[in-house]
Structure 1
Amino acid sequence: MSEIKLFIGPPLSGKTDALIEELSKVDPFEYIFIGSQGEFVKFAGNLAAQKIGAINRSAFKTIDQFAVYNVKKAKNIIFADKALKLSILTSVIEEMTSRNLDLPKEIQNEAKIVKHRSTVEKLLSLIDDIKTYMKEEEFKSADTMRDLFIVDVMDKMKAAFEKYHLFDSYDAYKMIADREIEISGKYLFIDGFYDFTPIVSEFFKTVISRFDKVFITATEGEIFQKGTSTILNTLEGFKYEKIHTKFKGSEIARGLFFGSGNGLKIYEFEKATDEIEWVAGDVKQMLMDGKQLGDFEIVVKSENNDYIKKLQDKFEEYSISTSYLGHKRMLQNTVIQQLMLPLRVVTGGYPQDLLISLVMAGFAGVHSEFDLIYDLAHLRRGPLRLSHSGRLKNWMERLDSFEKYLSKKAVLLSNEREDLIDKSALEEVKRIEKLVVLAKDTVKNLFDFLKDFEKASKISAYSEIFEGMINKLTTSKKMSTDDLNAIAEFRTLIFEMENIFNFMGIKEMDNSEYRYYIEMQIKDETYTPEEKADAVRISDLLTSRFNHVPIKIFVDFTDGNYPSFQPNYFYNSVEEEKHFGTNRMMKRLLDDRLDLYTATSHAGEVYMTMPISTQEGVRILPSLYLSELESNFNILKERGPLLPPMSVQESIITYAKSSQSGVVNKEFEHEYGLDLFKRRKVILEDEENLDFCDGLAKKPVSFYKFSTYDQCPMRYFFSYVMEIPQTIKYDLDLDSLELGTVYHNVLRKLISEIGREGLRRLNTELRSKIAETVKAELEKVSFFEMAIFEINLLKLTDTIFNYLCKVELNEDFDLKKRSNIKDYKIYMENKEGQPFVPYKFELGFGMKNSEIDSDINGIKFVGRIDRVDLCNSGVMIVDYKSKNAGDKQQLALYSMIYEKAFDQPVLRAVFSTIENAEVKNVMNREKILEIEDELISGVNSFLESSKSGEFTPKACKDTCRICDFNETCFVRWPDGTFKCPK
C-alpha cells in the first residue's frame, strides 16, 4: 500500500516548498514530479533548482507528458497531437458531407454546417470535453439530431484512430487507469492541480497505487472547495497523512482569497489612450525613484495586437525598453503573412491587390518602380477573379496597350514646333517606356513564380515551395529575431502537416484544399517572441500566473477581457449542464477568475486600470470582478491620476496638453509659479531652470535658433528649453529636415563632383544620375516601405532635375536686362560680366572641427554655408531653401562670417529655392552691410531675454496653424482658431 502525504492549505501557504523539501531528501533518479501544465512545471523545476541545486530535470513532467511517454514506451502506437486530430476530424466531416453515406439527411446537413475550419476546431474541442468530463458511453443516449451527429463523428474518429494505430492524451489516461500500461516507481510528487476531471481522477488512482511514496497538494478556500473535493475523492480508499500549511502570502494575496487586503489600486480613465499614457508615465516615475526594470510586469489580457503595439510605442516615447513575454499569433507576423500570400493569390482568383503585394514583397525580382506602372497602366482594374493564364493575359494586354499609348505620346511630343517641344516630358515618356519593359519582365517573373503553387498537387511539393520562399526571404533582407522565431514555427508546422498527410496515406491535394488545411492549422498557432534582458515585461495573463515581481499593472481591466472565454458553439449552458452534469460556463468563469487571482497574488503591489469609453465615446463596462475586488480590499475605483511630474518642464507639457480647452488649474500654476492663461507667457523663476537657460545662451548661436525665438519665444521655449520631441508622422512625405538633407547632399555631390558643364554633357543621362544620387541619399534618411520610397525617389528626382535645368544649368538670360537668374550667374562690373563659379560647399563654422573663426562682436555663431561661388572681384553666398526664401538676416550673418574668415568681399548673397526652382532675395554688398547692425542687435536681445527665463508667445492664426507645437501650446481658443494679441 502506498504511503501518502497530503499537503493541504490555502493558496500561497508553501505547499510547493514543502514538496520540494521532501524531494530534496530522495535520490534524484528515483522520483517523478507531475505538474498540471507546462508553465507550472517550469516554475516548480526552477524553484527546486534554486533550493536544492542539482535536480533531475527529465523527472519533471506535465500530466500529459507523463501519460503519453509511458504509453509510447509500452505500445507501438502513435500519439495524435492537435494538428493530426484536426486533420482526421476534417477528413471525417468531409466524408460525411461529400460521399454517399447511408446517413440521415439531418446529420449530413449538420456536417455541412460545421465544415468550416474554425467550426471543425470548435467541434474537436467539444469532443475532447465530452471524453474528459463524461464517463464512457454516457453521451450515447442522444436526444437530438445534433447529439446523434456528434456521436456519429466520435465513432468515426475512434475508427480512424484504430485504423492508424493512434492515441491521444485521453486515451493515454484511460489505458493507464485501466492498467493496460504497467506503471511503478518509488517516489511520486503531484502538484499544481486545482481539480481532477473524472478521467484524471481514475488515472491518478491507478498511478498513486503503483508508487511506494506519494506526495500531493490540495488547496483550501471558498473558490477552491469544489475543485479540491475532486482531489480528495480521488484519495478515498487510500490511507494518507494530512499536513496543514499556513498562509504565507502578501497582503495582495490575503485580500484576494480572504478579504481585508492592501496593496491594490484601481484606476479608471476616460479613454484607452489616457490609460496607456498614465501607465508609461507612472513606470517612468517609479524608475526615476529607484525601481529597476525587472521590478515591473504589465499584464495584458486582450489579444488586441494594436493595444499591445500602442502600449509598447508609448513606453518607447518614455525611453523605456519593453519585452512581450506572451504568445503571439503566427498570422500577426508580417513575414508569415507574406509566406501565405502566394497561396491566397492562387486560390483566390489572382486578385490585383494581392498580386501587387507579392511584387512589393520581392517575389518577382527587383523592380523599384513597378507600382508606378501598376497605377499608370491601370493594372488594378479588371475582373476580381481570373485564372492564372487569364490574369497574366489581362495584365500583359494592359501593359501592351499602355506601351502603345506611350509610343504615340512620344511621337506627338517630337512632332511639336521645335520651340514648343517639352523636352522634359518627352524624356519622362521615354523613361516610363523603359519602365514598362521592366514591368513586363516583372509580371512574367511573378506568374512564373506562382506557377509552382498553381501546378502543385503532391504534398511534398507544397513543403518544397514554402522552403524555397523562406530561403529567399531570409537571404534577401535582414530578419528580426521575432521574425526568425515565427518562421521556425511555420517551418515546423509545414513539415508536420506533410508527415500527417503521409501517415494518413494522402499524397496529393489541390491547392484550395491545401490552403483549407494549412489555414485551419495556423489559425491559432502561436510563437514565442524575442525576450529582451533589460526591459519592462509585458505578459499575457496565462504567462503572468507564475511570474513573481514586486509590481504588476493589469491594463484594460474591462468586461470582455475579465472574464473572457469562448462559449460552447454547439450547446447553450442548459444543454451543457444536462450533458456534462455540471455548468461548464460557470467552470470556465471560475478558471478565468483563478488565472487572474493567481497572477495577481504573485506581486507585492498591484494596479488595475481601465478605460470607461472608446475613442469614439462609447461607454465600456468594467470587469465583472471589480465589485468583488473593491469589497475584498475595502476600496473604490478612482479616477486616474494625472501623469506624475518628472520635472518642471514635463509638468508644464502635461498641463498644456490637458488644458487646451482653456480650463485653468490655479493650484497647478501656483505650485510651479506659472500664470499661463492670464498673461499667456512662461516665466521660469527657479534657479535650476534659470541656470539651464543661461547655459543655452552661452552656447554658439545658430541662426535657426535665433529665428525661432524671433518668430515666437514660446516656440523656442518648447523646442530648446523643454526639448519636446516633435511628433513623427509616418506618411508619404519626408519631414523638413530629411528633405533639406537630401536636397543639400544631392546638389553638393552633383555640382561639386560633376560640375555644371559635366551635368550639361550628361544630356539624357542626367535624370538617371540624379535618381542614383537621390536614392543613395534617401536611403540614409528614410524608413519608408518600398512603394512609398519609390514615390519619394521619383518625386525628389523630378524636383532636382527641374531645379538644375531651370537654375543651375540655365543660360537663357539677357545680359542687358536685370533678372535674379542673371544676378545669380554674372557679376557686372564696369559693364564687364564676371561669371560666378561654384567654389566652396558646406562650409561649416563654429563647429567642433571647423577652423573658421565665427566670433562676431563677442558672439560665437555656429552654422553651415551651403555654397560659395567665386568671381574675379569676390564671392557670392548661396543658401538653399526647399520652397520659400528665408530671412535676409541669415544671408547677412553668413556674409559677415565669410568675410572675416577669408578676407574676400561678399558681393552678393541669395536664396536658391529648390522646389520652386527660383533665385530669391538677391542682395548686393550695400544691402548686406545695411542689415548687419540690425542682426547683431537682434541676437543680443535674444540672448538676454532667453537668459531671463521669460518667454512671451507671439500668436497669430497663420503662424500658429503650422507650428509643430500648436496642440501643446496653451495659446489656443475653444473654437480652435488662433488670434493675434492686440
Structure 2
Amino acid sequence: MKNLVFNLYAGPPLSGKSEFLMEKMAELHKVRPFDYLFVGPSGRFVKEVADKFARLVDTTIPRGNFFVIDQLAVHLYRVLHPEQLHIHEELLSVFVADIISKLPEEELGNLSRVRTSPELIRFTIEAVREAKEEGVEEFLKTLESNPGSARLVSRVLVELEKRYGGRLFDSFDAYVNADPGKLKLSEYVRQRFGAYLFLDGFTSFSPVHTIFLSRLFPIFDEIHMTMDTVIWDARRWRSFEDMLNKYCAEMGRPLILKKRLFDSDSTKSRILKNFLNDQPATTKPDFIEIYIYKNPDEELKGISSMIKRMIVDQNVQPSEIAIVLNNFIERARDFQKKLEEYGVPVRLEGDEPLINSRAVQLVILPFKTAAYGYPPEMLMSMLDQGVGKPSAFWYEGTERQIDVEELERLATAAALYIEPPRSSLKQRFDSWFEKLEALKQSLLKKQELLNSEDEFSDALEEVQIELLECKYLIERLGELFGFLKPLESTRTRKTDMEFYLSTLRSWIDMTLRKIDSSEQQKEELISEVFALQRFKQVLDTLEVTFKAAAVERVTLDEFMTFLQTALQTESYKPSPDFSNRVEILTLENARFRQVQYKIFVDFIDGIYPSVRHNPLYPLQETHSSYQYYRKKAREQEENFYTSLKSCEKAVLAIPVATREGEPLTPSFWLRRLFPDAVNTASQMESEREEILYPMSRKELETHFNWALAQGKKVAFAEGQEFNEPSYEFPMIEVEPFDYRVKRVDVLKDILPKVISYTRIHDYRECPFKFFLKYVMGLREPWDETYDLSPLELGSIYHRALKSIYEWAEESGKKLELPLQEKRVRAIVEKLLDEFVSEHRIRGHVIVRNYLREKITSVILDYLKVESESPKSYIGSSTLTERPFRIPLKTLEEWLPKTAEKYGEIEIVGRIDRIDIFDELVATDHAPVVVSDYKRSGNSTSWEQLELYVIALLSLMDSENIPYAEKVQALYRIVEDRGKTRFSKQLRFSAEDGVFERINAKGKEGKTRELMEIDRELLEILNGIFEDAFFPKDKKCWNCRFKEVCGSTQWRVEIETAMGRVHREE
C-alpha cells in the first residue's frame, strides 16, 4: 500500500511553523480545493484559522472541512451509529446530579451534606472526564489515598453506563469507539474529506486523543502538523508515536516521518520559553508593561481610560484590543458597562452560565417558587417583577403595577415575610389574604382617625394611597395564586414532561415578545434574547434526551433538579458578533485570539493562577496521587503562555489592595517575566501616578457639578483635551438649584383648591420640599419599626385627650382627671386596639403592653401638670376638635388682600380645643382660649396659632362659640416637662387687630398686625400659584427628603447664570 507521509513542523513559539503549515494548505487548496481536512483543539481556534485562511487564499473555502477534534469524533461515531444520541455537557450534568441525589448517605460520606451543590456536580463531571481520558483503572488508582472520592467516581461511571443503555453516547465514547480503521468509516472519510489532513494548535494529546488520532491518521495519504517544542509533553508524544506506528503496521501502510525544525531567536520567544519552564527571567520583556492601581475600582477606570486613549489618540482599532479575565464571571460585566459608558464598542466573548441570565431566572421563577414551597420572598419577587398573570405570564406596562417601595411597606406592615419557609399554595394564600385583610381594616380605622385633622392631613393622603395599594395587592394576589395553581399538583404527583416543557416554551415566547416591544435600547436586551434562545435549545435537547432515556413523568422537584443543573452547566454568549469591538475574554478563550494588545486584569496571586479547592482530591498531594491542583495550575500556565504568543503587546494590571484596603500580592508568575519582579512592581507603583480624567459624559458632569456644588466653576486650558480642571470662585453669589414650573395652569390642576397650615409651613420652610411632596407627589419615607411613629403617637394623644375631656365635660370631673388612671388606661387600650391590633408586630402582646404603659404614663403626667399649672387655662366649659373649612373670601375682614385674590381657595384645619370662661376669675387672659396639642415642642410655631385665631373669629356665634373681642391661643405640649408644656401663647385683640406673643416665662414679645399676616400669606400663595417658584432651602439636617433631594440637584438643564439653574417643566 501507499506510504503515509507525516510532515511534522516543530519549533519554539513565534518560529513561523503555523504560517508554514497554512502556506502548505493554501498550495493544496489551489489544485484540490475540497480534498483536505483541518482539525484544531477548540472552536475559537478553528474559526480563527478558517477566517485567516480565507483571507490568505482570497476565495471561498470549504468551511465544513474545518473541525474541532471533539466534533470530528462525534461526527464519525454518528456515521457508525446513527441510532444513538449524543449527550451534551448540560445533559451529562443532569444525569450526574440525578445519580448523586439518589446515592445512599453511606456511599457519599461527608459529601452527603453537599450532594445538591452545583460545585460538587461540576467537580464530579470533571473527575468523570479525567477518568475517561486517562483510563478508568489508572485514574482510580491515583485516588487510592481518597477512597470516598474513588467510590463516588466509580459509582457515577457505572450508573452513567446504565443510563446510556446503548441509546446514548458521549464524546469519550466517540473517541474510543469511532474507529476510523473500520471499512465503512474509512471509505466515508476518504470520500468526505479527501487524502490530506492538517492539524494545528495542539499543545498535547490526551490518551483518548492518542487512540482516536492514531486510528485516523492511516486513512490519509499525507498529514501536516505543528508542534510547539516548549509545551509538548515528550512522554505523551512518544506514546502517540508508538501507537501510530502500531496501527500503520496493522493496516500495511509504512509511516514516513518528515520532521522539519523551526527556530526563533527573538527575545519574546526566549522569555516565553523561560516562563513555561519555570525559570526566572534574565531579560526585561519589551512587549510587556505593568500598570499598578490602588484598588479594583481604580483599575477598572484606569484600564477603560487607557483603552479609550489608545483608540482616540493612537488610532488603534477596537478589534485589536482584548481584555483578558481569569475571573470572568466576577468582573466581565463591570468592564462592559464602563467601556459602554465611555462610548467604546465592546463585546463579551467569554461564555456565561445560562442561570446567570436575568430573563432566564424570571422565566423559571414560578417553577422555583412552587418547588420550594412558595417562600414569601419569591412570591414578593414575582409581584415586584410583574410575573404571574394567568394566561399571559407578564403584566404589561399599560397595566397598573405596585411600586417596589410600597410593596415592601405593605409586606412589612402585614408581616407577610413572617411565615413558614415552606407551605402549600392554599395555606400560603389563606394566611396572606387574612393578613392583608387585617391590614386593610387597620388602614380604614387609621383613615377614620386622621380624617380632617390639619396636622395630619398629609398623612391622611398617604394612608388613603396605602389603602388603595393594599386593596390592589389583595386583588393582585388572587391572580398570582391563580396563576400558580396548576403547578401545585406537580409538587407531589408525577407529571408528563411535556407539561413542563410546553409551559416553559410558552413563557419564553411571551418574554421574547415583551423584550421585542420594549422601549429600552435593543443592545441592552440583546444578551437576554441570546440567553432565552439558548434556553429553548436546552429544552429541546432535554426533551430528546429524556425520550431516549425513557423518562416520561417526573415531579416538579425532580424536573427542577434536571433543569437547574443544565442551566448551571450550559452557557450562552452574552454579546453579538459585531465586528471591530474591544473583546472581553476568558483566559482560555484568549489563547488563540490574535490581536495587537492584550490586557490581563487582576494579575495577582489567587487569580493567576486560579485554583479552587476540590473536595474530591486531598489538598496535600503526594507523588503517587493524582496531581489535580498542579495540573490545573499547569493548564492555566499553558493558557497564559499561549495567550502571550498571540499578541504583540501585553499589559499586566495589578491592583495593590482590595476596595477595603487589604493588601494584594502580585502573581508569582511575575518573577518568570521580569528579572526583578518585586522591585519592578514597587517602582511602577511609586512612579505611575496616573490622573484619571473624565472619559464619559457622565463622569464629566460629575466633575463639573461637584465643583459647582462647592461654589466653584470649571475651566479647561484651551487646546488641551485631557487637562486637569482648574477651579475658580464664581463672580456672583446665588443659590444653584432652583425649580420653576412653567405651566402654571397645569400646576393649578395638580394642586387642590385647599390650603392648610401644614402646607403653608412646608412652603415657608423649604419651597422645594413643597414641590416634591405636593407637585411631584413623592411620599416621605418612614422606617417601619415596632414603635409608633411621631405621626401615630400624635394622633393617639389627640384622640385620647379628646375622649378624656368629653367624658370630663359630661361628668363634671374635670379637676379629677389626674386621678382617672383606670379610665385613661381603658381609653388608651381602646385606641391601641383600633390603631395597632391589626399590625402583626405591634399587635404582639409584649409590644402592645409596652405601648399601652408608655402612652398611659405620658397622658397621666400631662393631665397632672395641666391641673396644677396656672398657665393651662382650663375653662368652665371645654369644646374639643372643631374642624373648619373656610373659603378665604369669608375672611375678607381680617385678610382683605388675600381674600380678594384667592377667595375661592379654602383653608382647612382642626382646632383641638377651645376653653370658654363664663366669668373671669382674673384679668390675665381672654374669655376664649384656643389650644393646639403637640407631641413635642419642636413643631410649634407662632404662625399656626395666628391662623387658628383668625379661623376661630369666623366660627364665633356658631358651633357654640360665643363672640369675644379678645382671644388667647396656646400650645399644650404632651411629652414635655415643666414650663415648656405651655411654651408659646398669643393674645389677640379684635379691636386693634394686633397679635401679642408671650414666651414660656410669661414675658411679652413681638407684636404683629393682621395686615402683616395678610401680606405674608399672599406672598406664599403667589409663590405657589402664580410664580410657581420652588427654591431649595438649607434646612436639610432632619428632612426625610434629604437623599431624594440630593439626587435631583445635579445640573441637567441650561444655565441662566453661573451657579444658578432654573429647571423648567
2:481 is equivalent to residue 447 of structure 1: yes
Separation in 2 of the partners of 1:432 and 1:39?
A: 56
User: Cα deviation per residue 1:156-201 (whole Å; 9 max; x = unaligned)?
Assistant: 322332x242222111111235945733431111221111112211
Separation in 2 of the partners of 1:559 and 1:160?
A: 42
2:798 is equivalent to residue 795 of structure 1: no
The alpha carbon displacement at 1:150 in A equals: 3.2
Larger Rg belongs to:
2
The alpha carbon displacement at 1:285 in A equals: 2.9
Q: Residues 502-521 of structure 1: matches in 2 within 5 Å?
A: 502-521=547-566
Q: What runs of 5+ residues in structure 2 fail to find an aligned partner?
A: 247-254, 275-280, 389-394, 755-770, 783-885, 905-1017, 1032-1036, 1051-1065
Secondary structure of 1:61's match? Answer: strand
User: Cα deviation per residue 1:796-833 (whole Å; 9 max; x = unaligned)?
Assistant: 999xxxxxxxxxx974684455699569749xxxxxx9
148, 157, 161: which one pairs with 1:158?
161
CA contact (8 A) 2:325 2:584 kept: no
The alpha carbon displacement at 1:215 in A equals: 1.2
> For residue 28 of structure 1, what is the amino acid of its counterpart?
P
2:513 is equivalent to residue 475 of structure 1: yes
CA contact (8 A) 2:670 2:677 kept: no
Q: Residues 534-573 of structure 1: matches in 2 within 5 Å?
A: 535-572=581-618
Secondary structure of 2:178's match? Answer: helix
2:363 is equivalent to residue 339 of structure 1: yes
User: Cα deviation per residue 1:585-607 (whole Å; 9 max; x = unaligned)?
Assistant: 33322221121122222222221
Q: Residues 528-677 of structure 1: matches in 2 within 5 Å?
A: 528-531=573-576, 532-533=578-579, 535-572=581-618, 578=624, 583-631=627-675, 636-637=680-681, 638-639=684-685, 641-643=688-690
Secondary structure of 2:154's match? Answer: helix
2:348 is equivalent to residue 324 of structure 1: yes
Q: What runs of 5+ residues in structure 1 fail to find an aligned partner?
A: 99-104, 661-679, 697-704, 717-735, 762-777, 783-788, 799-808, 827-832, 834-907, 922-956, 968-982
2:87 is equivalent to residue 80 of structure 1: yes
Separation in 2 of the partners of 1:200 and 1:625?
A: 30
The alpha carbon displacement at 1:66 in A equals: 0.9
Separation in 2 of the partners of 1:345 and 1:176?
A: 45
Change in 2 beyond 3 A, CA 1:176/1:313: closer
Secondary structure of 1:202's match? Answer: helix
Secondary structure of 1:214's match? Answer: strand
Separation in 1 of the partners of 2:175 and 2:540?
A: 28
The alpha carbon displacement at 1:445 in A equals: 0.9
The alpha carbon displacement at 1:517 in A equals: 1.8
Say which is worse superposed, 221-230 or 273-282, in terms of deviation.
Answer: 221-230
Separation in 2 of the partners of 1:476 and 1:648?
A: 34
Separation in 2 of the partners of 1:624 and 1:648?
A: 33
Q: Residues 322-401 of structure 1: matches in 2 within 5 Å?
A: 322-364=346-388, 365=395, 366-369=399-402, 371=404, 372=406, 373-401=410-438
Q: Residues 257-272 of structure 1: matches in 2 within 5 Å?
A: 257=273, 260=283, 261-272=285-296
The alpha carbon displacement at 1:386 in A equals: 2.3
2:200 is equivalent to residue 216 of structure 1: no
Separation in 2 of the partners of 1:95 and 1:681?
A: 69
Structure 2 counterpart of 1:885: none
2:318 is equivalent to residue 294 of structure 1: yes
Structure 2 counterpart of 1:980: none
Separation in 2 of the partners of 1:132 and 1:16?
A: 27
Secondary structure of 2:39's match? Answer: strand
Structure 2 counterpart of 1:54: 60
Aligned residues: 741
Structure 2 counterpart of 1:408: 445
Structure 1 counterpart of 2:127: 126
The alpha carbon displacement at 1:609 in A equals: 0.9
Structure 2 counterpart of 1:71: 77
Structure 2 counterpart of 1:775: none
41, 46, 68: which one pairs with 1:41?
46
Separation in 2 of the partners of 1:328 and 1:187?
A: 37
> For residue 14 of structure 1, what is the amino acid of its counterpart?
G
Structure 2 counterpart of 1:201: 210
Structure 2 counterpart of 1:744: 741
CA contact (8 A) 2:91 2:566 kept: no
Change in 2 beyond 3 A, CA 1:501/1:54: same
User: Cα deviation per residue 1:871-893 (whole Å; 9 max; x = unaligned)?
Assistant: xxxxxxxxxxxxxxxxxxxxxxx
The alpha carbon displacement at 1:551 in A equals: 1.9
Separation in 2 of the partners of 1:87 and 1:160?
A: 11
Scaled by the length of structure 2, the TM-score of the pair is: 0.61
Separation in 1 of the partners of 2:745 and 2:161?
A: 77
Separation in 2 of the partners of 1:625 and 1:615?
A: 23
2:469 is equivalent to residue 435 of structure 1: yes
Scaled by the length of structure 1, the TM-score of the pair is: 0.66
Separation in 2 of the partners of 1:915 and 1:587?
A: 76
Say which is worse superposed, 263-272 or 536-545, in terms of deviation.
Answer: 536-545
Structure 2 counterpart of 1:711: 733
Separation in 1 of the partners of 2:502 and 2:365?
A: 16
Question: What percent identity do the matched residue pairs reach?
Answer: 21
Secondary structure of 2:14's match? Answer: coil
Structure 2 counterpart of 1:803: none
User: Cα deviation per residue 1:546-570 (whole Å; 9 max; x = unaligned)?
Assistant: 2222222211111121112345431
- CA RMSD, aligned part only? 4.9
CA contact (8 A) 2:272 2:641 kept: yes
Separation in 1 of the partners of 2:17 and 2:8?
A: 9
2:523 is equivalent to residue 491 of structure 1: no
Secondary structure of 1:643's match? Answer: coil
> For residue 85 of structure 1, what is the amino acid of its counterpart?
L
Separation in 2 of the partners of 1:112 and 1:425?
A: 52
Separation in 1 of the partners of 2:678 and 2:432?
A: 69
User: Cα deviation per residue 1:216-236 (whole Å; 9 max; x = unaligned)?
Assistant: 121112676566555555555
Change in 2 beyond 3 A, CA 1:390/1:233: same
Change in 2 beyond 3 A, CA 1:153/1:630: same
User: Cα deviation per residue 1:906-937 (whole Å; 9 max; x = unaligned)?
Assistant: xx99896669999999xxxxxxxxxxxxxxxx
Change in 2 beyond 3 A, CA 1:527/1:409: same
Change in 2 beyond 3 A, CA 1:83/1:565: same
Secondary structure of 1:795's match? Answer: coil
Secondary structure of 1:631's match? Answer: coil
Say which is worse superposed, 113-122 or 586-595, in terms of deviation.
Answer: 113-122
2:48 is equivalent to residue 3 of structure 1: no
CA contact (8 A) 1:173 1:200 kept: yes
Q: Residues 140-155 of structure 1: matches in 2 within 5 Å?
A: 143=144, 144=147, 146-155=149-158
Separation in 1 of the partners of 2:497 and 2:221?
A: 50
CA contact (8 A) 2:15 2:262 kept: yes
The alpha carbon displacement at 1:106 in A equals: 4.9
CA contact (8 A) 1:255 1:262 kept: no
The alpha carbon displacement at 1:523 in A equals: 1.4
The alpha carbon displacement at 1:631 in A equals: 3.0
Change in 2 beyond 3 A, CA 1:641/1:321: farther
User: Cα deviation per residue 1:473-492 (whole Å; 9 max; x = unaligned)?
Assistant: 33335261111001111222
Structure 2 counterpart of 1:764: none
Say which is worse superposed, 681-690 or 355-364, in terms of deviation.
Answer: 681-690
Change in 2 beyond 3 A, CA 1:90/1:813: same
CA contact (8 A) 2:318 2:580 kept: yes
> For residue 402 of structure 2, what is the amino acid of its counterpart?
E
CA contact (8 A) 1:5 1:243 kept: yes
Secondary structure of 1:323's match? Answer: strand
The alpha carbon displacement at 1:500 in A equals: 2.2
